[in-house]
Amino acid sequence: MGLAVRPIVRLFIIAVSLAWLASCAAGPGRAPTPVAPSASKGRQAVPPAGTEPGSLFNAKGQRITHKAFAELAAKHDYILLGESHGSRCDHISQAALIRAMAAQGSGPVVGLEMVDVTRQDILDEFADDILDAQVVEERLDWQKAWGYGFDLYEPIFLAAKEHKLPMAALNLPQTIIAQVSAEGLNSLSPEETILLPESIVPPPAEQAKVLEDVFTQHSSGEDMDKLEAGLRHERFFLIQSLWDSKMAEQAVEARRNFARPVAIVAGAGHVEFGWGIAHRLRAYDPGAKILLVLPWRGKEPREGADVFYYCPATHRSSMGMVLQEEGQRVIVMDVDDDSRAGNAGLQVGDVITMAGATPVTSLWDLHKAGVEAHKAGKPLTLTVLRDKKLLTLDLGKLGKDKGL
């Protein structure tokens, strides 16, 4: 399959290194959302004129209906629904796919990366109609535990409730991930150790090469001795394996408990090319049939999955703004009141042209500029085009919990 790397692969890799890659992580309970340029040399594809968000394509680029998707999904045991965490369109599209499967008669268990296994009882009460969406958000302490607004994910919860589908928590608590990242497996308490997967499946060779590249990029220039560098390297790879192994293990358990397929809602980096969760599913449940589904942003090649749903690239920033890529532009789509973005003067409709000294033509450009500003200990300034005028706005310094 080669080393073609679609944008969200690097998003996932960065997201799980939260305790010590401060320039790229947003801290425990938050997964950052930079997107990297595709390294693929495959044929570029563009959506046909009039393509609506949520439209489906197969790997050959042919449009398919939701009914056809549901018929295909019914032949599989695990349906991996990849996403970008900050994209509302992605979650609406995932909910539509879950509804299509349920309407076809193959209603799945809905497995969630976003919920750790210690909170399974809350999902059970929601599925049993004991809790409504507002209460489940509060009980899950969603914003603190995950970091992306519950409103983004509510369509998935409502689809599950509408069709009376069971839901499964898939992940380890973020505190365990952070602890392993900082001090290793041996630092966990007996109670924490019990939550680990019974076996930790390492990444496949192709993904390992990509992980190695990303580790090198994000640790270069740091002042550390050989022992510290070795420990960070070891834990970086361990975290990737822990995260995906646990989610796969829980999905297998859910399939056995409910005797129905499992739709796994997870970041696209856990899904594409079958490197992440699917690789572990094959180890835990040999012979299982796995369907890979990914978002497609309309400009990168369609690779790494069996089915794609179209959603433009968007990012909900922890600074209080929603950004969207349109062609070679990054546009501010929403700004929260009394947020860092709002207080800096950003407005809906602003086109970000520069971040510091970096020209901005993609969300990845913005992420790189943020990393550089953080490492230099300098404020990040944005140049925006508004009403045919260029304005410079100061977002301040980016701390560990204040990434883009």
CA of 272: how far to CAs of 13, 81, 91, 228, 277, in Å?
12, 10, 17, 31, 9
The two tokens of residue 381 are: 């300034």
pLDDT band at 125 (very low <50, low <70, confident <90, very high): very high
CA distance 224 to 226: 7
Distance CA 212, CA 139 (A): 38
pLDDT, mean of residues 139-151: 91
- The pLDDT of residue 221: 58
Q: State the pLDDT confidence band at 95, using cuts at 50, 70 and 90.
A: very high
Dihedral, CA atoms, 290, 236, 143, 395, nearest 10 degrees?
-120
Pair 302, 62: CB distance under 8 Å: no
- Beta strand pairing status for 389-394 and 351-355? unpaired
Asked whether the beta carbons of 40 and 6 are under 8 A apart, the reply is: yes
- The C-alpha atoms of residue 122 and residue 112 are separated, in whole angstroms, by 13
Q: Residue 18 and residue 146: Cα distance in Å, rounded?
A: 13
- Percentage of residues of the chain with pLDDT beyond 70: 84
| pLDDT the model gives residue 188 | 94
Q: Residues 189, 193, 197, CA angle at the centre, nearest 5°?
A: 165
Phi, psi at 297, each rounded to 5°? -90, -5
At CA 199, angle to CA 197 and CA 205, rounded to 5?
115
pTM assigned to the model = 0.77
Distance CA 398, CA 394 (A): 11
Residue 8 has pLDDT above 70, yes or no: no
Beta bridge partners of 241: none
Nearest to 83 by CA among 146, 152, 21: 152
Nearest to 59 by CA among 308, 334, 285, 239: 308
pLDDT of residue 320: 87
Amino acid 313: pLDDT: 80
Output the pLDDT for position 21: 30
How far is 171 from 115, CA to CA, in rounded Å?
A: 6
CA distance 203 to 240: 8
Phi first, then psi: what are they for 402, rounded to 5°? -130, 40
Whole-number pLDDT of residue 17? 38
Residues 208-241 pLDDT 10s:
888 888 888 766 656 666 767 777 888 888 999 9
- pLDDT tens-place string over residues 32-77: 333 333 334 344 456 666 688 899 999 998 999 999 999 999 999 9
Model confidence pLDDT, tens digit, residues 341-366: 999 999 999 999 999 999 998 888 88
Length of the chain: 404
Average pLDDT (179-192) is 92
Tokens at residue 129, please? 């109609």
> Token digits for 366?
């913005």
**Residue range 144-172: mean pLDDT, rounded:** 94
Q: In which residue are the tokens 């925006």 written? A: 384
